[in-house]
Amino acid sequence: MRVTAGGAKSYILNYRAGGVERRLTIGSCDTWSAVAAVRHARELRQAIDLGKDPLAEREAEAAAAMEAAGQTVASVLDAYVASYARKRLRRWQVVESVFRRLVVPAVGKLPVHELNRGHIARMLDKIENESGPVMADRTRAYLSSCLAWFAERDEEFNYGAVMVKQKRRSTNASRSRVLTDDELRAVWQAAGEGGTFGAQAGTFGALVRLLLLTAARRTEVAGMMRSEIDAAGVWTLPAVRSKNKRPLSLPLSKAARAVIEAQPKVGDYVFSSSTGGEYVAYSRGKLAMDGALGDAVQPWVLHDLRRTARSLMSRAGVRPDVAERVLNHAIQGVAAVYDRHSYQAEMGAALEALASMVERIVNPPAANVVSMRREG
């Protein structure tokens, strides 16, 4: 088993072919069991003992697939996903989705050797305008990896002359975006009308609502399991799934529990894919929701919901130190050493206050309600 610096784990087989050391990736530990990997490794060893080179055969199949397709950009993307991403990337479905939705419609039909920086730059500008700078940067990174992989297999392809550099962006704006009340109302309503913007959009809409009601990170909520929630409605986020590697016990509000209980029970994941796995179709859901929202909301990203929730807690009168604990931020200073209180009741009250604030925003009181003046 090989573990990368980023924590990705995969099963590999080291062998020699023609006097050369070879390393073949069997698959990710997330999708292959140890028993299945060992069995497959034995089959590969038998082939190697007969003089075959499995890695060379795999590369030849990928090359043949690209050649048969005329080596368009789309065929290169398909070969990369089949021969590399599926076997080495934990979230290869996300890469495949980005290629299918954003890259193929823009440059997929071009012969790969005619691809140039202008094509890529115009594509990324369009993605940035329609889906935001984060998605543009992510698409560039996925495409860059694919084209670098292809360049190693085609001497005529000049990666350096094709790929554009990543833009240097100021982080100040991205770290200050908070949805206005009108924008929040539009997003909340769209999130409850999932059927209007595509398959599995209902799952994405529920995910959006829970992100706002918990102030948690996208991956933390998307990976939420029913087994992490106890009978009292306390969600225990394990350290292994927390960005700062700190576990968190979060008493969910009634509104948050209602969102969770409404989700179809397919396996242990609260938000699951059609096959019961972890939900990863964020980009597709976000793109569809943005299309439904139109001009009602200025460009935004899912992380803005976390910042918006934190701001709403302040508006609701939640103490800053309690709100920071809800966000699982490390408490600094002497309090971090001496204050060992769990703050469970306080965090529960904070999330209920957040839910009440959201309710007042998305369902404002009627404009014709007036106060009665008492006669003197």
CATH code for position 25: 3.30.160.390
176, two tokens: 């200050």
262, two tokens: 């409404």
One domain for residues 253 and 226: yes
**Domain with 290 in it:** 181-362
pLDDT at 326: 95
Question: Which has the minimum average pLDDT: 86-100, 212-226, 295-309?
Answer: 86-100
Tell me the pLDDT tens digit for each residue of 193-213: 544 443 345 789 999 999 999
Does residue 58 form part of some domain? no
Whole-Å CA distances, 345 to 248, 260, 313: 14, 21, 15
pLDDT at 154: 83
pLDDT at 23: 83
What is the average pLDDT across 304-309? 95
345, two tokens: 């009741």
Res 173 pLDDT > 60: no
What is the average pLDDT across 166-193? 78
One domain for residues 343 and 213: yes
One domain for residues 345 and 212: yes
118, two tokens: 């202008």
pLDDT band for position 376 (cuts 50, 70, 90): very low
pLDDT at 195: 40
Bigger pLDDT: 214 or 281?
214
Q: Where are the beta strands (DSSP E) in the chain?
A: 2-3, 9-17, 20-28, 234-237, 248-251
Give the domain-ending residue among 168, 193, 220: 168
Summary mean pLDDT of the chain: 84
Res 102 pLDDT > 90: yes
- Contacting residues for 256 by C-beta, under 8 A, at least 6 apart: 210, 213, 214, 351, 355
One domain for residues 341 and 207: yes
**For residue 149, what is the domain's CATH number?**
1.10.150.130
Q: Return the amino acid letter for 347.
A: M
pLDDT at 200: 46
| Whole-number Å distance between alpha carbons of 162 and 151 | 11
Query: Of the candidates 224, 192, 212, 225, which has an alpha carbon nearest to the alpha carbon of residue 253?
Result: 212
pLDDT at 186: 93
- Contacting residues for 302 by C-beta, under 8 A, at least 6 apart: 208, 211, 218, 282, 286
**Cβ 142 vs Cβ 95: under 8 Å:** yes
One domain for residues 83 and 7: no
**Cβ 88 vs Cβ 277: under 8 Å:** no
Does residue 59 form part of some domain? no
Residue 139, Cβ density class (10 Å: 0-12 exposed, 13-18 middle, ≥19 buried):
buried
Question: Which has the minimum average pLDDT: 7-11, 63-67, 316-320?
Answer: 63-67
One domain for residues 117 and 209: no
End-to-end CA distance of the chain: 83
Whole-Å CA distances, 317 to 237, 321, 353: 25, 12, 8
One domain for residues 144 and 46: no
Res 260 pLDDT > 90: yes
Give the domain-ending residue among 111, 137, 168: 168
One domain for residues 274 and 133: no
One domain for residues 130 and 7: no
Number of domains observed in the structure of the chain: 3
What does DSSP assign to residue 263?
A: S
One domain for residues 137 and 199: no
Query: Of the candidates 257, 211, 213, which has an alpha carbon nearest to the alpha carbon of residue 231?
Result: 257
Question: For helices 254-261 and 344-362, what crossing angle results, to 10°?
Answer: 80
Residue with tokens 């009440």: 356
Query: Of the candidates 3, 51, 52, 54, which has an alpha carbon nearest to the alpha carbon of residue 24?
Result: 54
Does residue 60 form part of some domain? no
- Contacting residues for 55 by C-beta, under 8 A, at least 6 apart: 17, 22, 23, 24
Within a 10 A sphere around the Cβ of 155, how many other Cβ atoms?
Answer: 7
Residue 330, Cβ density class (10 Å: 0-12 exposed, 13-18 middle, ≥19 buried):
exposed
Query: Of the candidates 52, 54, 79, which has an alpha carbon nearest to the alpha carbon of residue 154?
Result: 79
Does residue 376 form part of some domain? no
One domain for residues 195 and 261: yes
343, two tokens: 């703050």
Tell me the pLDDT tens digit for each residue of 19-67: 778 888 887 777 778 888 898 889 888 888 888 888 777 777 666 655 5
One domain for residues 342 and 312: yes
